[in-house]
Copies of this chain bind each other. A is one copy, B any other.
Amino acid sequence: MPLRSPDQYRAGLRDGRTVYFRGQPVPDVTTHPVIGIAVRHASIDFEMAEDPQHRDLAVIENGEGAPYSRYYKLPESADDLLKRSALIERATALGNTLVVLIKEIGTDALFGLHLIAKQVDAAKGSSYLGRVQDYYRYCRDNDLALAVAQTDVKGDRSRGPSEQEHPDYYVRIVERRSDGIVVRGAKCHTSNTTHVDEVIVLPTRAMSPADADYAVAFAIPVNTPGLKLLASPYGSAGQEERSEFEFPITARHKMMETTTVFDDVFVPWDRVFLAGETEFAGPVALGFVEFHRFTAISYKLPLVDALVGAAQMMADYNGISRAAHVRDKLIQLVSYAETLRGLTHHAALRARVGELGIAVPDALTVNMAKYHFAHHYHEAVAMVQDIAGGLLVTGPGVEDVESEAIGRYFTHYYGGRAGVGGRERLQAINFVKDLTSSEYGGYQEVLAIHAEGSLEAEKLMIARAYDGQRALQLVRRMAGLEA
């Protein structure tokens, strides 16, 4: 099968899936006023593959057999990782800072599953690797869009799956049958489940022997019976009326998140990738995350570039480019963005090629990059808001600016430095508002902290990935504590 067209992708979403939005069932996600925006945003993926300007990056042509989406390329070298990063960055830039994420995250999961399935098979005599490989080829060859459901609803965060007030705070196997398993539970903040073809389900944490029913990984089509997608309305107020003037990002770009309910869902064995091997629940979670944080730092690049560019643009429009404190903030923003870019690329260059010939980005560098991004994000936003001005939250609506009665006031009064007209400046302001001082701004703040693991998770991984013996030996020698 060749690569799919955007239309083919959208047609595939009309498959009887169970989706709810604000309490109402959604018969067709592609025409829904909110989810439809997300579908069109996701189509960027398929449009890039057809666009001569992006095809080289988006499509692998040189493999054996048919061309396929580069997202599916199993990384075998630093260069593969750099190209994957570049593709993710490009797509996100086309998404006006919003990642597309209908193949990125799913392939991260598949890469990780390859590595861990091999370990499980070696330890347990199971045959998961073959299933993973078959499923990977199926997705790749059918050019499928994938979601990953990982985060359980969790209940008391200080307790494990089997220690909770009720048994359903983590997704679990409620029945093992000859032909497959039946699962129950709910995952939260699953991205884009509403408009992909398949959902891959992974455990969210390491588990103890008591948690055997909870150590489960699998994949299913989105229209599987019993799977219910409860879409979050966050950030969708007035979505239909958004103009590109007032909402340059969110008028056309949107992610969806679902509470993903597994109401006794049946999964056949050939789609089950872990089922009870508790000691591998943690490794499966981390195997995914090792790749996914590299995806994350790649897709944050257009976002941090946008902060830099927004600050430059507003400093210029406001006539303050030469003010010392503005210059200083611009330099801090540049340093923030380019340190992220440098570490992201360096993580690829320092990749380790291991089992199955798969190149894994350097975990220490990836996690330092992610932590750097996340730890300073709010501060970077503050600098951009500072340079842009209070008009971020007091400006007119599109109907004001286009009003015959009062539109001229905005044109006349909201100009900036000589040569910058009111409408142009308001449009620039609106971009910064949509980016930083809006529901989308709040969304990005929360994502910075929580998506792909919290700040604490990144810190934990830095501690794990660092070889502490080197520094300790160095210091002991210097201190004269060793010969």
Contact = CB atoms under 8 A, between A and B. Distances in A.
Interface of A: 20, 22-25, 93, 96-97, 151, 153, 155-159, 164-166, 168-169, 185-186, 188-189, 228, 230, 232-235, 237-238, 241, 244-245, 248-249, 257-259, 261, 302, 305-306, 308-310, 312-313, 318-320, 322-325, 327-328, 330-331, 334-335, 337-339, 342-343, 345-346, 349-350, 364-365, 368, 371-372, 377-379, 381-382, 385-386, 389-397, 399-400, 402-403, 405-407, 409-410, 412-419, 424, 427-428, 430-431, 433, 436-439, 441-443, 445-447, 449-451, 454-456, 459, 462-463, 466, 468, 470-476, 478-481
Contacts of A459: 328, 331, 335
A362 to B, nearest CB: 9
A273 to B, nearest CB: 23
Contacts of A403: 20, 23
A119 to B, nearest CB: 27
A306 to B, nearest CB: 6
B416 A478 contact: no
Contacts of A437: 439, 442-443, 445-446
Contact of A96 (B20, B399, B478): B478
B475 A313 contact: yes
Nearest to A461: B331
B390 A446 contact: yes
A379 to B, nearest CB: 6
A256 B236 CA distance: 22
A188 B480 contact: no
Contact of A405 (B23, B166, B451): B23
Given A368-B335, A445-B437, A474-B93, A23 B406 contact: yes
Contacts of A463: 327, 330-331, 334
Given A155-B417, A349-B349, 5 more contacts: A96-B478, A188-B391, A234-B394, A234-B395, A331-B459
A260 to B, nearest CB: 10
A153 B480 contact: no
Nearest to A400: B23
A311 to B, nearest CB: 9
Q: What are the 7 closest A-B residue pairs judged by CB atoms, nearest first?
A: A324-B324, A309-B475, A237-B238, A23-B399, A156-B319, A437-B442, A309-B471
Contacts of A234: 393-395, 433
B23 A409 contact: no
Given A20-B405, A23-B403, A342 B365 contact: yes
Contact of A237 (B237, B330, B409, B415): B237
Contacts of A481: 424, 427-428
Contacts of A392: 442, 446
A338 B368 contact: yes
B446 A385 contact: yes
18 contacts: A25-B405, A158-B319, A168-B412, A237-B241, A248-B479, A261-B409, A334-B462, A335-B462, A342-B342, A342-B343, A378-B379, A381-B445, A382-B449, A385-B450, A386-B455, A393-B443, A431-B478, A437-B443
B436 A389 contact: no
A105 to B, nearest CB: 15
A338 to B, nearest CB: 6
Contacts of A185: 413
A441 to B, nearest CB: 5
Best-surrounded residue of A318, A337, A377, A471 (most CB of chain B within 10 A): A471
A393 B447 contact: yes
A164 B318 CA distance: 12
Given A385-B449, A393-B446, A249 B97 contact: no
A427 B476 CA distance: 10
B393 A382 contact: no
B480 A416 contact: no
A230 B409 contact: yes
Contact of A325 (B397, B447, B456): B456
